[in-house]
Amino acid sequence: MGMLKNFIACVLLVVLFLQNSCFEAGLSANVTYDHRALVIDGKRRVLQSGSIHYPRSTPEVWPELIRKSKEGGLEVIETYVFWNYHEPIRGQYYFEGRFDLVRFVKTVQEAGLFLHLRIGPYACAEWNYGGFPVWLHFIPGIQFRTTNNPFKEEMKRFLAKIIDLMKQENLFASQGGPIILAQVENEYGNVEWAYGVGGELYVKWAADTAVNLNTSVPWVMCQQEDAPDPIINTCNGFYCDGFTPNSPSKPIMWTENYSGWFLSFGYAVPFRPVEDLAFAVARFFETGGTFQNYYMYFGGTNFGRTAGGPLVATSYDYDAPIDEYGFIRQPKWGHLRELHKAIKLCEEYLISSDPTHQKLGAKLEAHIYHKSSNDCAAFLANYDSSSDANVTFNGNVYFLPAWSVSILPDCKNVVFNTAKVISQRNNGDHPFAQQKNVNELLLASSAFSWYEEKVGISGNRSFVRPDLAEQINTTKDTSDYLWYTASIHVMPGQGKEVFLNIESLGHAALVFVNKKLVAFGYGNHDFANFLINKKIELNEGINTLDILSMMVGLQTTFLAPEGKGPLALNLASMGKGQAWVNGQSIGRYWSAYLAPSTGCTKKCDYRGSYDASKCQKHCGQPAQTLYHIPRTWVHPGENLLVIHEELGGDPSKISLLTKTGQHICSFVSEADPPPVDSWKPNLGVVSSSPQVRLACERGWHIAAINFASYGIPEGNCGSFRPGACHMDVLPIVQKACVGQIECSIPVSSAYLGVSAGACPGLLKALAVEAHCSI
């Protein structure tokens, strides 16, 4: 009976929500591929995927992140495997806590989703040392990522370790598990040229090694044009609609579609408009793609010292559909969800034929997929970056905004356009930006005790050598800090003013002369090395020169705020350093490093090709001042916060933030399309009215409607106001929404009780602002 219930639930989910994977744990699946798509149990599949890196969150929130991903329309979760944390010492393995890979894969399986395991073992991913363990560096004769026996032996051993672990837990699809894809190496094609013939031989060796591990699922190599058969070469980038695999027998797959970009200290905050992201996805499926993955769907946090370099920030938010704290980012999540629904309506057509191209005008085109001669789905595209257009297709006229794609699952009705965003929006660009929905606990300066470290080398771990020691070789990557100390003897009569010149390949350095700070140098993400040229004054006799970091250790205790949600530690008043909560490192901070004051725009035009510097915000401010503390890292009663501050700051202004509510809003006009799920195969559009749809985060409900106007309301989310034509529909919206977790309001005069003759000749819209709370 339980199996029957599960089967019925599964069928309902397939019919009612995007036909998600919905496989039964324990039922084996055969995964292959042909030129059109991955083939699972004999059926081609069109798949939406998203990256979630298990160590960038905590096991307690994995189920919620995966649930939100599934509700957003994903069928696959993609993750790297991080060698340096799984094997910190050669032969000694670690798979616990945030690094419990098996638990993560099983959590994906329990949600009914597939998994793409990117073993690498090189990851990049803005992860420390690219995921390689530092001990590799000290193996005699080793050369990374080339035809080098010591490296190949270690790489093969780790690949086999992970594959065997997955097999032991029955996690490959052929064993009834969720893993349908595996990846070896990572973006090696970007650097292969530098290795010459050794690089070519290494690619063949890596491919053969992977295939011989007998995973029973296809292997991929991303950004690898010369990936040998049967390895599938895949595309990474902001756009992949022009990508062609290196063999006509391989499907078109996109393993990294950047939902935004990573954050670096000293830089403005990058973001990617959802209109452009949706355009890129729609173009990919329009032109023949059948598998695409958002990098990232949830970015998370670079806890501890996991952030790679140079100068990658602790936040790995990535402007992803689910933000660093696990909250849904709107309208990005909602708009992509509608896109996924629209593409899913076309799946049977996409897997039945190759696309037929039809030119509709200058930078205007259609791609049509047929199941039969008179049964088709179509994508209409305007890839001009500035001009809107009207196009004629199948005898009908369609309006296409610039840089947009319309999806027609029956070659007649438009169910989605990438440039028309009608999903609800969040007020504010950060989950803790809405002051009315945030509690702030100030940690009083009197609660801090501190210890100021003396300048220079101390302790019994010092050593003397005639030249400078390289930092990674010396610290074995166990610390961010290393002191260099030298003595300078000035004889009587010698000049006391000298120039100090330091050329560093590191990221930052503090310089002390005779125990007094004289200089601070640092680079940035693009150019991490830096120069210090400084005139200094010496004394007669012995002078000391100390280079590195002054560390001031601060600790206090604090009481955990009430609630179950994540916490944010506000370190805006501090300089540079690291922070720990109850012994768990929340990462590095550098609040004193401001982004350039120029380069940001109030509103970024989504039209035209995107790159990481096109859309930026928070110029002239620190890249990051709020730091994620997972709720499971604090406990009732007193908790210990420890800060290692290098530059000095004001700890009296450190505070803890908790989110107590959510302000959401929506603006939908009569001209907008009805929801994608109102269109049913063989029936067409069931409901002709667009709808305002509002939904709170799980655990909250709509407590109040703060604004509701039907007519031509003005303003933006958080500051809507009645326009010249205004009909007060507040009571109607309140009745439909207050007390609910989610609600829908048709944008029609009939439903809203407004006379059809009201505001004649005007295109009316409904604007709503709501407040969610517990």
CB contact set of 4 (below 8 Å; sequence gap of 6+)? none
| Residue 95 tokens, joined | 């798979």
CA 759 – CA 544 distance, rounded (Å): 81
From 64, 71, 169, 187, active-site residue? 187
Cβ contact 769:718 at 8 Å: yes
Question: C-alpha angle with apex 617: 692 to 382, nearest 5 degrees?
Answer: 55
Using CB atoms within 10 Å of the CB of residue 150, give its burial: 0 to 12 exposed, 13 to 18 middle, 19+ buried. middle
Which phi and psi angles does 201 have, rounded to 5°?
Answer: -65, -35
Reduce the DSSP state of residue 153 to 3 states and report it: helix
Helix (H) or strand (E) holding 692: strand 691-695
CA 280 – CA 270 distance, rounded (Å): 18
CA 205 – CA 147 distance, rounded (Å): 8
Which phi and psi angles does 642 have, rounded to 5°?
Answer: -120, 130
- For residue 646, indicate whether it is catalytic: no
Which phi and psi angles does 152 have, rounded to 5°?
Answer: -65, -35
If we measure between CA atoms, which residue out of 690, 678, 719, 603 comes closest to residue 422?
A: 690
Reduce the DSSP state of residue 594 to 3 states and report it: strand
Cβ contact 122:128 at 8 Å: no
Cβ contact 297:320 at 8 Å: yes
Cβ contact 147:198 at 8 Å: yes
Reduce the DSSP state of residue 179 to 3 states and report it: strand
Amino acid (1-letter code) at residue 336: L
CA dihedral 20, 25, 27, 28 (to 10 degrees): 80
Using CB atoms within 10 Å of the CB of residue 323, give its burial: 0 to 12 exposed, 13 to 18 middle, 19+ buried. buried
Per the document, the length of the chain is: 774
CB contact set of 9 (below 8 Å; sequence gap of 6+)? none
Pairing of strands 364-372, 375-382: antiparallel
Which phi and psi angles does 276 have, rounded to 5°?
Answer: -75, -40
CB contact set of 639 (below 8 Å; sequence gap of 6+)? 557, 558, 559, 560, 581, 582
* Torsion sign over Cα 584, 587, 592, 595: negative
Q: Where are the beta strands (DSSP E) in 129-277?
A: 179-184, 219-222, 232-237, 253-258, 269-270
Sheet containing 655-659: which strands, arranged edge to edge? 438-442, 655-659, 567-570, 626-629
The full DSSP string for 297-314 is EE--B--TT-B-TTTB-S
Cis peptide bond N-terminal to 630, omega within 30: no
Pairing of strands 232-237, 219-222: parallel
CA 286 – CA 381 distance, rounded (Å): 9
- For residue 256, indicate whether it is catalytic: yes
From 75, 78, 185, 256, active-site residue? 256
If we measure between CA atoms, which residue out of 615, 581, 612, 700 comes closest to residue 301?
A: 581
| Residues annotated catalytic, as ranges | 187, 256
